[in-house]
Amino acid sequence: MSLTGVPLLLLAITLAAALPALLAWWWHQKAHTSWLAAASHLAAVLLCEVFAASALFLWVNDQYGFYTSWSDLIGAPTKGVTIRSNGLVPPGAGRVEILTVQGRTQTDPLRQTLVWLPPQYDQAAYRTARFPVVMVLPGQPSTPEAMLRQYDFARTAVAEISAGRIKPFVAVLPPLMTNPPRDTECTNIVGGPQAQTWLTSTIHTAVQNSLRTTPAPWSVMGWSTGAFCSAKLVLTHPQEYQAAVAFGGYFSALTDKTTGDLFHGSTAARQANSPIWLYQHGGLHGRKLLMVSGRQDLGTWASTERMLQASRGDPNVSFIAFPTGGHNYRNYRHYLPAALQWLDHNHVNQ
């Protein structure tokens, strides 16, 4: 069963609910007092706790998208896995293509990137049109497919386009994890993966050569770690990105057991990859930033407040602060239409 599938979640909930009742019935039938009976009772209680905890974990994981597969859960790299687009987009909501991207050199690995095309891309009236680009970045660990599914991205985008609130655009959804299972925080690591170059140069070239899109600058939006990366990209590469939306983002570079030593102990390197420090020492270069954060999102609200304080009075910085709800897809996806409208309004390639 899939780690994020409904059947596994329902099975775990059913077992968590049924086992205590079965245990109570069994104890009523078997009233033994031997040490063996006591040990079996203890084992039964522990089993019930395991199933209850498993059900809770699966439900939380489904809401937050922490782990998207069994290999992701145990930390095993998923080499050779290909993206499958079947079922990612409902009928009438455009289509998804899989773009195979070669690295900057022939020795770099091939990577696959999802591309969402609006219905207009295939219509005769638009056959010579070039479309603006929005890059969409997932959280960590997560996948581009999760952004399409959890945010209902294609259906929402088509609804906004059909209502005339935004213009048709192409969405590029690259994998954020370029060196699985390591979280690179979209950083060019000295002697290691060049994750920032992947997002700011490699993908741009591949998309420009393969699709009818307008030239840079693009727009970028992201969720959680993808939000951190979105803010960092618009601050460090204003020629490539003109506007960024951060859904549930943080604004100081992290290092933990999932990232390893990204900056080799260099405070300067860490600062140069932290949106707050970058903003304080260079500003937005005329670009735009929208932060979407919940006041009860304990993992990101404090960082958002610091970024808001640092940018107080800057008309190029906007924010949405909703009062209740934590760090999960369900709370943030309601603001996707507003974010798309904001990006459309701030797109220079109109």
- Short-list 204, 279, 270, CA closest to 236: 279
Residue 252 domain-assigned (yes or no): yes
Residues 150 and 189 occupy one common structural domain: yes
Tokens 């596994």 found at: 8
Q: Same domain, yes or no, for 52 and 176?
A: no
Q: What sign does the CA torsion over 120, 234, 344, 306 have?
A: positive
Q: Which of 63-67, 235-239, 311-315 has the lowest mean pLDDT?
A: 63-67
pTM of the model: 0.77
Share of the chain above pLDDT 70, in %: 76
Looking at the predicted structure, is the pLDDT value of residue 90 above 80?
yes
Q: What would the pLDDT profile of 7-51 be if each residue is shown by its tens digit? A: 766 777 777 667 666 766 665 566 555 555 555 665 666 676 776
Going by C-alpha positions, the residue among 9, 28, 27, 29 that lies closest to residue 17 is 9
The reported pLDDT for the residue numbered 129 is 96
Residues 254 and 219 placed together within one structural domain of the fold: yes
How many domains does the chain fold into? 2
* Between 196 and 89, the higher pLDDT residue: 196
Asked if 175 and 141 sit in the same domain, the reply is yes
Arithmetic mean of pLDDT over the chain: 84
Give yes or no: residues 164 and 241 share one domain.
Answer: yes
Residues 56 and 173 reside in one and the same domain = no
Domain hosting residue 183, numbered range: 76-345
| Residue 70 domain flag | no
Residue 214 falls within a domain, yes or no? yes
CA distance 135 to 214: 13
List beta partners, residue 319: 291
pLDDT at 249 over 90: yes
Q: Which of 187, 180, 159, 193 is nearest to 333 (CA)?
A: 159
* Cα distance between residue 152 and residue 230, in whole Å: 20
CA atoms within 13 A on the CB side of 264: 7
Question: Do residues 12 and 104 both lie within one domain?
Answer: no
- Which pLDDT score is estimated for 303? 96
Q: Are residues 51 and 98 in the same domain?
A: no
Confirm whether 350 is domain-assigned: no
| 173 belongs to a structural domain | yes
Residues 155 and 304 both lie in one domain: yes
Q: How confident is the model at residue 80 (pLDDT cuts 50, 70, 90)?
A: very low
Check if the beta carbon of residue 223 is closer than 8 Å to that of residue 327: no
Considering the domain architecture, whether residues 297 and 204 belong to the same structural domain is answered as yes
**Residues 305 and 330 placed together within one structural domain of the fold:** yes
pLDDT for residue 81: 44
Extended beta strands in 103-259, E state: 111-117, 133-137, 170-173, 218-223, 241-247
